[in-house]
Structure 1
């Protein structure tokens, strides 16, 4: 008689447990990437909408649409989109931004959903969604409904602005200008299941994330 731990021929294979899905909320340059990696842990997966969008912008069909719509000024020397040049246009013109999103968002949405499905079949324990418009475009991308926990990263505006100046080369005040087209941060904070305080250094932020994981029995 076979041992209980040995599956008999033809017996169904046990499906992997679905991953715990975190949705990360917060402003530009708030520390979302660092927090996402900590939440995912060594065996988890971080899915970044920005990374997926970056890849989508390299699609030849989309590159040609950008050239036709905005001209060669949004392309770099290698013929690929210059993201900063493109951002300067679309964040000043809602119509241009809408057209760009109509091209990019379906590709990003398909990429993220495919990655989530693959993670589930591979038995990944945690998935973290780093999606800037997770709340704003919930009806469009369907990702919000898949989240088990929403996490807001509370970082002072002045710190975020200073960080963007140093790490992204943005002009002072650019963060606020770009966020004007998004949901207010106060509303995102209210939508979160818990808040991560990022008013200190990196070590303090790391400890705060680990404390929340411990509270959730995920440490």
Structure 2
């Protein structure tokens, strides 16, 4: 098994890269999707968030109002840290369970936006960073309906391009066309398979095992 951390700033196109890797045969563990699941209605995670931030972060039907919560946590670091203290342990536990369920010869793509922000993370065989110029990211986010001020606040709460590059084993430039991205992801997939096959030929002990 090869465990790959995939990250990139908001608007970089990280999700597009993960989708293309899945087309090649990768086993995806999506932190964003899991983050939504751990605060779904009826979960202990949602109850803890509502207790910490009050009823204003809930919609009338009892589901999480992500926009309202985002306005709070991206404007105040202490609030963001409080939210992370609730959700991150739940997310990590679920991700570990899904990685453990993958086939032994899988290339597992651990799609995690805040890989760098969370500090050193042992256990990755490779880290792939998706990189896109800031203005292009802002344009993409605007097309999604996110106001520039909100987009910039979210960028400011994340690692810088330089910090992500510092941990990258493989960089993916997503400033071009979709065809350009497909070609680059194909190259990355080939490199990941080579790393997986080398690891299968030379068994090693993972950190924490």
The TM-score, its normalising length taken from structure 1, stands at: 0.80
- Quote the offset at 1:124 in angstroms: 5.1
- Please give the alpha-carbon distance, in whole angstroms, between the structure 2 residues aligned to 1:80 and 1:199: 36
Show CA shifts across 1:11-47 (max 9, x none): xxxxxxxx21221121101111111122344432111
Please state how far the C-alpha of 1:116 moved relative to its aligned partner.
0.8
Correspondence 1:86 to 2:86: no
Q: Provide the aligned length of Structure 1 versus Structure 2.
A: 193
Query: 1:161·1:173 contact (CA, 8 Å) conserved in 2?
Result: no
Residues 1:43 and 2:25 aligned together: yes
Equivalent position of 1:150 in the other structure: 127
Describe how 1:24-173 pairs up with structure 2 within 5 A.
24-58=6-40, 59-119=42-102, 122-123=103-104, 125-139=106-120, 144-167=121-144, 169-173=145-149
What is the aligned partner in structure 1 of residue 199 from structure 2? none
Q: Is the 8 A contact 1:40 1:127 kept in 2?
A: no
Q: Which blocks of at least 5 consecutive residues in structure 1 are unaligned?
A: 1-18
Whole-angstrom CA distance in 2 between matches of 1:217 and 1:95: 41
Q: How far apart in 2 are the matches of 1:215 and 1:113?
A: 24
Deviation at 1:64, TM superposition (A): 2.9
Report the alpha carbon displacement of residue 204 of structure 1 after superposing the two structures with TM.
0.9
Alignment match of 2:168 (pick from 192, 207, 212):
192
Cα gap change, 1:165/1:75 in structure 2, threshold over 3 Å: closer, same or farther? same
For structure 2, list consecutive stretches of 5 or more residues without a partner in the other structure.
Answer: 195-209
The structure with the largest alpha-carbon Rg is 1
- RMSD (CA atoms): 1.9
> Do 2:49 and 2:86's aligned partners in 1 also have CA atoms closer than 8 Å?
no
Structure 1 residue 215, shift from structure 2 partner: 4.4
The answer to whether 1:182 aligns with 2:158 is yes
What is the alpha-carbon distance in structure 2 between the residues aligned to residue 134 and residue 37 of structure 1?
Answer: 18
Answer yes or no: is the 8 Å Cα contact 2:132–2:173 preserved in 1: yes
Distance 2:186 2:10 in 1: 22
Q: CA shift at 1:71, angstroms?
A: 2.4
TM-score normalised by structure 2 residue count: 0.84
Cα deviation for residue 66 of structure 1 reads: 2.9
